[in-house]
Amino acid sequence: PLASAYADRTGDMAFIDKLWPSLKAAAEWTEEASRATGFVTYQRAAESGLANQGWKDSFDSVFHADGRIPKGPIALVEVQGYVFAAFRGMAALARRRGEFADAEHWEGRAEEMRVAVERDFWLDDMNFYALAIDGEGQPCKVRTSNAGHLLFVGLPQPERASLVADQLLSAAFHSGWGLRTLADDAVFFNPMSYHNGSIWPHDTALCGVGLARYGERDSVVRLMSGTFESAVHFNMRLPELFCGFTRAPGEAPIAYPVACLPQAWSAGSTFMLMQACLGLEIDGWEGELHVTRPRLPIGIDTLTLRHLSVGDKAVDLTFQRVGDRVVAFLSDRHEGQVPLIVRT
């Protein structure tokens, strides 16, 4: 997904062409790895290895609703979303290279993954996606932020995305500072744990971009506000994670004692959330700026992005609150140099 995102942002096919043999090999490996079950899975090969090998790699971060630890191999829901995005990205890049048969193949594989996730991970009784499917084919019926990563890649059908969004934005997940990794009614929920109820800024940001993708831009503004205000309490150095206690008036977020501080992906989360608020996308292929239903963070009435790179040009783009709307415009000296397409 990163290669196709880079290409969409820059239009730099020369770099993609250099990487193409490696990208194709990685996609083919992923395809082969998912052949047996239809999903990419993991299982440790030795007792000394990590029991869980997703980004939530604590020993108890994957479990069944009753607290049982599942047997492998494990298929994590968000990993299948990443595979879906990778196959779809490969299809787009292959099409750019004129390899139309390969493009059709990867598009087909992406659709197969989308159908499989919707069929096997969706829980009708919870209106949510399962955390994982275990080695016996049983879903882990636990509500986690992992499902928000599916929104990030655009896999769910809109009706299901809306149901997931409503729950992510509910008090079960949203602490007031950010999104918890685990709903507060789960058996292993602990706001002081590493992966089972804490708040990771990068996780909140990925979910936030997914929420914006499905039209929840106003909700992303609230997430941005909570993230920024938590950063203030950490001297503007967002930590790896912090505790998931519910926000209370006059109280600061509770630090996780051994969190890395600062951490790069936490620092990057603020920019990711800001872009989601602004509805800003850069089309590197056409050299265009696209702004869709822009929103400004709470307390900011004017925001200017300076030296924004679009192809071989750099422009200043301003967002300004006008009544209950936000308008976007290029600076006078850059107007007309780069097409700006605004959708409200």
Q: Which of 344, 298, 296, 343 is nearest to 320 (CA)?
A: 296
Assigned CATH for 1-142? 1.50.10.10
pLDDT in tens, 13-46: 999 999 999 999 999 999 999 998 999 999 999 9
- The phi, psi pair for 260, rounded to 5°, reads -65, 135
CA–CA gap between residue 86 and residue 155 (Å, rounded) = 12
CA–CA gap between residue 276 and residue 344 (Å, rounded) = 14
Query: Domain boundaries in the chain?
Result: 1-142, 145-278, 283-344
- Tell which phi-psi region holds residue 83, choosing left (phi > 0), alpha (psi between -120 and 50) or beta: alpha
| Token pair belonging to 250 | 């006059």
Q: Would you state the pLDDT for residue 332?
A: 82
Answer yes or no: are the C-beta atoms of 24 and 18 closer than 8 Å: no
CA–CA gap between residue 44 and residue 51 (Å, rounded) = 6
Q: Given 3-state DSSP classes, what are the helix, strand and coil percentages for the chain, each rounded to the nearest 5?
A: 40, 15, 45
CA–CA gap between residue 28 and residue 25 (Å, rounded) = 5
Q: Would you state the pLDDT for residue 70?
A: 96
Answer yes or no: are the C-beta atoms of 145 and 72 closer than 8 Å: no
Answer yes or no: are the C-beta atoms of 139 and 121 closer than 8 Å: yes
Q: Would you state the pLDDT for residue 337?
A: 83
DSSP-assigned beta bridge partners for residue 281: 290
Q: Would you state the pLDDT for residue 111?
A: 98
* Residue 91: burial class (beta carbons within 10 Å; 0-12, 13-18, 19+): buried
* Residue 21: burial class (beta carbons within 10 Å; 0-12, 13-18, 19+): exposed
pLDDT in tens, 212-264: 999 999 999 999 999 999 999 999 999 999 999 999 999 999 999 999 998 99
Q: Would you state the pLDDT for residue 335?
A: 72
What type of residue is 59?
Answer: F
Answer yes or no: are the C-beta atoms of 103 and 27 closer than 8 Å: no
Q: Would you state the pLDDT for residue 47?
A: 87
Below-70 pLDDT ranges, the chain = none
Q: Which of 126, 241, 143 is nearest to 183 (CA)?
A: 143
